[in-house]
Amino acid sequence: MISNIRFNCTFILLLVFSAGLATASGQDPGEGEQPNFIIIFNDDLGYGDVGLEGSPLIETPNIDQMEAEGVKLTNHYSSANVCTPARAGLLTGRYPIRTGLAHSVLFPEDEHGLPEEEVTIAEALKDEGYRTGMVGKWHLGTPEVSWPTGNGFDSFYGLPYSNDMRPLALYRNEEPVEEPVNQTTLTRRYTEQAVDFIEEQPQEPFFLYLAHSMPHVPLHASDSFQGRSKAGLYGDVIEEIDWSVGQILAALKRAGIDENTLVIVTSDNGPWFEGSSGELRERKGAASWEGGQGVPFIARWPGHIPPGVTSDAITMNFDLFPTLLTLAGSQLPENRPIDGKNIWSVLQGGETSPHEYLYFFNNEQITAVRSQRWKFVVRSYYRGGLSRFEGSIQGRPHYYDPGLLFDLERNPAEQFSYTRERPEVVEQMVRWLEKGRRELEPLGKEEERNAQ
pLDDT class for 218, splitting at 50, 70, 90? very high
pLDDT above 50 for 334: yes
pLDDT above 90 for 389: no
pLDDT class for 452, splitting at 50, 70, 90? very low
pLDDT above 60 for 75: yes
pLDDT above 50 for 186: yes
Q: How many CB atoms lie within 10 A of CB 351?
A: 11
Name the more confident of 221 and 258.
221
Q: What is the pLDDT of residues 317-326, one digit of tens each?
A: 999 999 999 9
Q: Which stretch, 27-36, 200-209, 223-232, has highest mean pLDDT?
A: 223-232
pLDDT at residue 35 in the model: 86
Work out the average pLDDT over 58-74. Answer: 96
Q: Which domains does the chain have, with CATH numbers?
A: 11-347 (3.40.720.10), 358-451 (3.30.1120.10)
Which of 5-14, 185-194, 426-435 shows the lowest mean pLDDT across its residues? Answer: 5-14
pLDDT at residue 275 in the model: 97
pLDDT above 60 for 232: yes
pLDDT above 80 for 2: no
Q: What is the pLDDT of residues 155-182, one digit of tens each?
A: 999 999 999 999 999 999 999 999 999 9
CB 337 within 8 A of CB 94: yes
pLDDT above 90 for 29: no
pLDDT class for 27, splitting at 50, 70, 90? very low
pLDDT above 70 for 23: no
pLDDT class for 450, splitting at 50, 70, 90? low
pLDDT at residue 156 in the model: 98
pLDDT class for 263, splitting at 50, 70, 90? confident
Q: What is the pLDDT of residues 93-134, one digit of tens each?
A: 999 999 999 988 999 999 999 999 999 999 999 999 999 999
Which of 103-107, 173-177, 362-366, 394-398 shows the lowest mean pLDDT across its residues? Answer: 394-398
pLDDT at residue 34 in the model: 83
pLDDT at residue 303 in the model: 87
pLDDT above 50 for 12: no
Q: What is the pLDDT of residues 273-332, one digit of tens each?
A: 999 999 999 999 998 999 999 999 998 888 888 999 999 999 999 999 999 999 989 999
Q: What is the pLDDT of residues 39-54, one digit of tens each?
A: 999 999 999 999 998 9
Burial of 30 (0-12, 13-18, 19+ CB in 10 A): exposed
Q: What is the pLDDT of residues 367-388, one digit of tens each?
A: 999 999 999 999 998 777 778 8
Q: Mean pLDDT in the chain?
A: 90
| HSE-up (13 A, CA, CB side) for residue 410 | 9
Catalytically annotated residues: 83, 139
